[in-house]
Structure 1
């Protein structure tokens, strides 16, 4: 049997010719290439039993190269995979760092809002404490005052439960070198960011509760302050005899207070100013009553009310003296008026005889005198209706106003200053 790679033994070599040059020595030695196998003489029986030739060296080199190539490719693939893992881990780490940095910014923003909200609430709390120490009874609506107090209590509770300032999560260190270390550190960073975000949510809820309570307090305070309008008007009516300066101060304090829309230090001051002005107003009323006390008190108060009814809303003060403008003894009556265009009030001084003759058979004279003085006071409102640059014109106007209102008694001024021009009487009819 023959190997397909070797179709058979080579043909027998020809016998070398006997050379005469090698006598007695036989045939010459075979050539060197035939001295050793690879070829062995074929058996004489004609059978084919050639030994299998060795594997060619070329085939072993190809297998080695293939193996080396596979290993090389695997190594390259491993390196590429590692590089890709390294890159992916770096991206994961950087994303976690970016998340943490955003969370750190969110902590700063939340703390900023929280600090401002708590500061505003504490301002209101301090103002409320100041108002609570002020005697406001009788100067505000009781129901609105209670609502305001309840809102302050709710604010106190919200502040007591307010969260402390947030602590920002710590920043990461250097990025680890190996991908698995980067992934582990990224997970830890994300966990810190998530925990901080949870804290922000809880913090915001606590701050929101304080902000809501603050808004409620402002609303209740606005209603509370606004109720001073009605109560200040009632207090003014009850203390009508108080001096004009105290009335004006009280009105200004009330006006400032009722325009406020939030609770703070200025509104607490406004409440205190309003309450103090009310105290001064009541004290002034009492001082005036004490000054006018005596047998003529009732008549004096009736005369003053009559004068006010002649010019509703006009701010008037009344002083009394035994003699005024040289009159007051016997059956004479005297009066003077001083007015101030700004802020717009007048002081009328009357002789005691006006009160003494009030309601007597000389009542028409007394009323005419009072009407004359109110005509003077109304210059505050009607000064553009006549020329009040001369004393003569001023007296004519007062007399004309008394006549225009139907007071023709002797005290209206005609007996002293003469008849005023009819044109002035007609002008005075539209002044009130």
Structure 2
């Protein structure tokens, strides 16, 4: 018979009969919780995560710091560049003004065949100032051509930003140094400009003032030329800056002076001959009687219908404008009879007409008779009593005219 397996009291009721079942654990005892990972492994993970975050934070801080540092350097660089560009713009304008000034002064220095010569030291001072100005202008142009260092593109990463910031700071320093150099050069340009202006104005002033002596040395020049010289001299003396107007003023002065010489030569040529010395003596005599009045003289065989057979003729034209001027015409016979009293008296009568430009309000100039009586009265008031003073031709003037004429000098 078949043997049955032993009965197991702990076997579940539903366990099948026969066979055998292995236990899940070969050790005895109660059942336990599932196994856990070692605690030290979880701590390592946390520390790793914290360390990674710290690295990321450090990188972020470094990135931000590098970016801010670059921005600060960029702002400082921009200020330095703006200053340099501003100084460059200012210097460019001042250098252009200096060059224009030097060009104008150079034209004055280069003048040739000058009738009025300024003192040698004045011309030398202007020539030296022009040379210095041209040198300063050239140096300024060279400095203006210097490029202002630019910033370039801003890098992205901190390891690039740090190096770029250092270079940007160097460029900032270069821009600041350039601004300082531009400012210093501007001071040199202004100094050169002042020197040219000062020496140029001094030259024109001295030349203008020399016109007085120049006029006196060319006493026989025609009135129009003398007036032009005076006007040109006044313009030269009034010059305060050296520019195209100053160049024109100086050229006009020299041209007027040349015209004075030319008209004097023409007048002297007309008066040449046997009577020349007497004519010049008479002209000097007339000018001495009426200082301050521009007198011009013309000579001819017949003047105002007289000149032959011992007669003498004279005729005067005058202008009331400023300056008072007159043209006196005399017959050759006046010079032939010089220095007789009658010649002096006739010349004094004509000067009486000429000097009336200084005493317009002292007599009635509305009639020819009054005009002639005035000239006669003036000759008498000067002590020229020969009848050629006008008495013979126009009669004796009233004492009131003589008294009034005595106040006209």
Alignment partner of 1:412 is 2:389? yes
Question: Are 2:127 and 1:145 equivalent residues in the alignment?
Answer: no
**Corresponding position: 1:339 with 2:315:** no
The 3-state SS of whatever aligns with 1:378 is: helix
Residues 57 and 318 of structure 1: CA distance in aligned 2, closer, same or farther (over 3 Å): same
Aligned residue pairs total 387
Matched residue, 1:430: 407
- The residue that corresponds to 1:195 in the other structure is 174
Report the CA distance shift for 1:26/1:92 in structure 2 as closer, same or farther (over 3 A): closer
Runs of 4+ in 1 over 6 A off after TM superposition: 25-29, 63-66
3-state SS of 1:227 partner: helix
Please state how far the C-alpha of 1:227 moved relative to its aligned partner: 1.0
Q: Give 1:221 shift.
A: 1.1
Tell me if structure 1 keeps the 8 A contact 2:95–2:141: no
Partner of 1:215: 194
1:137–1:332: structure 2 CA closer, same or farther, 3 Å change rule? closer
CA deviations over 1:78-118 (Å, ceiling 9, x no partner) = 44444433332222222222223223323322222222222
The aligned residue for residue 236 of structure 1 is 215
Find the aligned partners of 1:197 and 1:135 in 2 and give their Cα distance.
51
Match of 1:326 among 293, 297, 305: 305
Question: After alignment, is 221-230 or 195-204 more displaced?
Answer: 195-204
Distance 1:111 1:254 in 2: 40
Structure 1 CA distance for aligned equivalents of residues 48 and 361 of structure 2: 115
SS in 2 for 1:347: strand
Matches for 1:271-420 after TM superposition, within 5 Å = 271-343=250-322, 344-359=324-339, 363-420=340-397
- Please state whether the residue corresponding to 2:326 is helix, strand or coil: strand
CA distance in structure 2 between the aligned counterparts of 1:189 and 1:153, rounded to whole angstroms: 40
- Mapped partners of 1:144, 1:224: distance in 2: 6
Largest Rg, 1 or 2 = 1
User: What residue number does 1:119 align with?
Assistant: 96
Give unpaired runs (5+ residues) of structure 1: 1-24, 30-34, 40-53
Asked whether the 8 Å contact 2:299–2:331 carries over to 1, the reply is: yes
Quote the residue 1:49 is aligned against.
none
Alpha carbons 1:97, 1:172 under 8 Å: kept: no
Superposition deviation, residue 423 in structure 1: 2.6
Can you list the C-alpha shifts for 1:25-77, whole angstroms capped at 9, x where unaligned? 99999xxxxx95479xxxxxxxxxxxxxx9x979x76x777666655555554
Q: CA deviation at 1:236?
A: 0.5
User: Quick one: distance in 2 between partners of 1:248 and 1:123?
Assistant: 31
Distance 2:54 2:402 in 1: 118
Name the counterpart of 2:205: 226
User: 2:134 corresponds to which residue?
Assistant: 156
Change (3 A) 1:169 1:316: same
Indicate how the Cα distance of structure 1 residues 105 and 26 shifts in structure 2: closer, same or farther if over 3 A, else same.
closer
Give the Å deviation of 1:394: 1.5
CA distance in structure 2 between the aligned counterparts of 1:81 and 1:328, rounded to whole angstroms:
123
Normalising by structure 2, we get a TM-score of: 0.84
Q: Aligned to 1:387, what secondary structure does the other structure show?
A: coil
- Matched position secondary structure for 1:299: helix
State which drifts further: 247-256 or 91-100.
Answer: 91-100
The DSSP-based 3-state class of the residue aligned with 1:336 is strand
Tell me if 1:176 matches 2:155: yes
